[in-house]
Amino acid sequence: MSRRLQRWAVEIGPALLVAIMLVPFIISGGRLVGWQPAMIDLDVYRYTVADLLAGKDIYLTRTPYYQLPFLYPPVAAIVLIPIALIPLRLLQLLWILLLVWCQWLVLRCLGVRRGWLLGAVNMLAVIAVEPLRTTLGYGQVNTIAMALVVVDLLGRRSGTRRLPPGVLIGLAAALKLTPLLFLVFAAARRDWAMVRNGVLSFCGAMLVGLLILPQATLTYFNKLLAGDMYGNPVYVGNQSLAGLVTRLAGGQPGPAGTVTTVLCVVLGAVAVYGAVRVWSRGARAYAVGLLGMATGVVSPISWTHHYVWVIVVAIGAIAAGARIPDWLRWISLAWSAWVSLCPVLVFLPYGMNAELGYSIGQHIVGGVTPVLGAVIIAAVGVSSAWWSTPADAGPGSEPGDANRSAAEATRSGVEATGAAAEGTKS
């Protein structure tokens, strides 16, 4: 076995085996004996591709029993066409492998040491981090979209980014629109190459969808502009600020919903500003995690499994060291622990609008994730205005590049001085 395969076996193998064993238990209806997981979102993709190939309207697709629709841009369905050729059980195994591999990519970009430590953290993430675990169980795309963004922003040093900066973020946004916030972040940093490449890749992907599925593309954007989103926003699994306000307002937010929308726009802008400040101090993983947190907090609907960014927030907070204040590290780790454990779906009643009968205490528990997330975003945005900003090596540089360049320049100067002295002596 080659050294690369041995490394992959150590770093991906344990997480993959644990995931294969856990997935049948995550969504009701699965079973381990005979290995039949209920990956209901992967079923959505399968039925959507089948309808696409049959010439049907993909936005009328519904899965058996759960009646789940397809929610993504048409280009996502086009990209998924190859899954029609793969038998169901093999497809489920390959999808689990893809998600575990994406976790591995993210952990590599976050600087987790290669070998057994990376393998252990990858396995622990499958077991202990609810958004990653349920993304596996549903057969969702959250981890894939996160990996595209993280590799684009943090993957240069680890060698995982092979395309020009911004391309992967644009592709991630073509799958799920929320990664567009990272292009706003790139613009705020004046990284115009990343902005240009990201916009071109996003628009190019959307153009492919428009050319191949013009009516479906128009339907998608009409639904988007009309706010026609699937899912009950009252459900406590909706862990966005808008979801909390909707529950507090008894399902009819009215003017409070408008105020919340404005607040979310402001929070998104504050998150971008705070992330730029954190990035400039060298805590780049934490900056990316902060923006990922914001995509969940400010979106109209953010199911618990959308918060896969918790792994970036947690590791980024630990790795940041003195680049962020201690109070910020601890509150970020507390938020990460809460999101990972997901007590809202453990201790609170839900379903059939049970949330409308919550007590004040239950509403508090149901609102910890978005409220504490908003507090962290606001605290970083406000406090970072007074942080000192170390010199940066430019928009495309990695943390420490400036320091390394200075050290290399100093070393070169010393060597040149030594050579001159030798020449003088001779």
Tokens representing 389 are: 């900003």
User: Hey, is 210 helix, strand or coil?
Assistant: helix
Q: Measured between alpha carbons, how far is 253 from 227 in angstroms, rounded to an integer?
A: 15
User: What pLDDT, in 10s, does the model give residues 193-246?
Assistant: 999 999 999 999 999 999 999 999 999 999 888 877 777 899 999 999 999 999
Please give the C-alpha separations between residue 255 and each of 166, 207, 356, in angstroms, as whole numbers.
37, 37, 18
Dihedral, 161, 333, 400, 170 alpha carbons, nearest 10: 30
pLDDT at position 389: 62
Q: H-helix or E-strand containing 87?
A: none
Task: Please report, for residues 96, 145, 238, 293, 303, the alpha-carbon distance to residue 178 in angstroms, rounded to integers and kept in the order given.
Answer: 23, 10, 16, 11, 13
Tell me how long the chain is. 426
Q: Which residues pair with 303 in a beta bridge?
A: 238
> How far apart (Å, rounded) are the C-alpha atoms in residues 240 and 1?
47
Q: Could you tell me if 312 and 146 are in contact, meaning their C-beta atoms sit under 8 angstroms apart?
A: yes
Residues of the chain predicted below pLDDT 50: 391-426
Interior CA angle at 222 toward 217 and 226, to 5°? 150
Residue 286: name the closest of 250, 323, 260 by CA: 323
Residue 318 CB neighbour total at 10 angstroms: 15
- CA pseudo-torsion sign 306, 311, 314, 315: negative
The token pair at 415 is 């060597």
Cβ burial 46-78 (10 Å sphere, 16+ → b, else e): bbbbebbeeeeebbebebeeeebbbbbbbbbbb
Q: What is the pLDDT of residues 362-416, one digit of tens each?
A: 999 999 999 999 999 999 999 988 887 654 434 444 444 433 333 333 333 333 3
Distance CA 185, CA 293 (A): 14
d(CA 45, CA 57): 14
How many CB atoms neighbour CB 192 within 10 A?
12
> What pLDDT is recorded for position 399?
41
Assigned token pair, 357: 């009968």
Predicted confidence at residue 395, as pLDDT, reads 45
Distances (CA, A) of 395 to 5, 268, 296, 384, 402: 34, 21, 25, 19, 12
Check: pTM over 0.95? Answer yes or no. no
Cβ atoms within 10 Å of 425's Cβ, excluding its own:
6
pLDDT of res. 390:
57
d(Cα 308, Cα 410) in Å, to the nearest integer?
Answer: 42
Enclosing H/E stretch for 253: none
Output the CA torsion sign for 129, 134, 139, 144. negative
59 secondary structure, DSSP code: G
Q: How many CB atoms lie within 10 A of CB 255?
A: 8
* Cα–Cα distances in angstroms (integers) from residue 309 to residues 11, 340, 420, in the given order: 20, 10, 54
Say how far apart CA 360 and CA 343 lie, in whole Å: 16
